[in-house]
Amino acid sequence: MMPLISVPWDRPPVRLLVSVLIVGHLLAVITAPLGFQTQSGRGTSPSVETLAWPVHGYGEFLYLNRGYAFFAPDPGPSHLFQASITTPGDTPTPSEDPVFPDLQVHWPRLLYHRHFMLAEFLTEIYQAPGPPAELQELDAGAAELWRLLRARYERVRQSFALHLESLHPDHDVALRRLEHLIPGFLEFHDQSLNLKDESLYRVMLDQVPPEDGSLLPEGNLEETQQAIDPAGVPSLEGGSKSDETIPQVDREGNRP
């Protein structure tokens, strides 16, 4: 039997090597959520990128750059989408319009989670119609990027609608994005709001925000719905329609 190799832990070079490995691992663990918290429309903080560069490959290998925000104490709102599936000439019945994901339909849990990721992705890549004429005059490159991002969003949204149309032949499909808010501490404490309370749902309009930023009116979901043009915008290729063509929201069982 071969004797076990004795590691001289008390030697300075060995202690230095072990210390570097431990600090490097902790750096990889810390910089992943730090990079997520400091990212913005312009990208990640340059300081955080510099700090994470030495351990970036190590963190990728161990998959340390996961979506921390979803599992944090304050994960933020979740995003859904609703489909109106009707035959030509029929009046939509909002109470029967399916919402994705739906705990009552999409099971086992992995299937629900897959639909949840699709809904979140659709909101993540959303780009408002445009670009504004002012942006075209000031920065043609930024305006072209705007158009490309909008085209990507429309293609993804259209692919969702086309898939639903393939499951429901001879039907029209329209989609609308929804946001499910989490009540704040005071709202929950003072009003005892349930997570499925209708006031926590809002419609995400597909339009260019006004200059003052007041995209949605103050008030509850019903007031928000009244602000939507029921006619929507012209249909996209493939039968998919605008996000604003569904008059109500099915609010049962859709909180992830």
In this structure, the chain runs to a length of 256
With a pLDDT cut of 70, the percent of the chain lying above it is: 73
pLDDT at res. 213: 39
Closest CA to 202 of 184, 187, 217, 185: 217
pLDDT for residue 10 is more than 80? no
Average pLDDT over residues 244-252: 39
* Boundaries of every domain in the chain: 12-70, 76-226
* Position 70 confidence tier, pLDDT thresholds 50, 70, 90: low
pLDDT for residue 226 is more than 80? no
With a pLDDT cut of 90, the percent of the chain lying above it is: 33
- Provide the edge-to-edge strand list for the sheet that holds 78-86: 99-100, 78-86, 172-180, 201-203
pLDDT at res. 63: 84
pLDDT at res. 127: 93
- The structure's pTM equals 0.61
**DSSP characters over 64-109:** ----HHHHSSS---EEEEEEEEE-TTPPP-GGG--EES-TTTS-SH
The packing angle between helices 109-124 and 140-167, to 10°, is: 150
* Position 73 confidence tier, pLDDT thresholds 50, 70, 90: low
pLDDT for residue 231 is more than 80? no
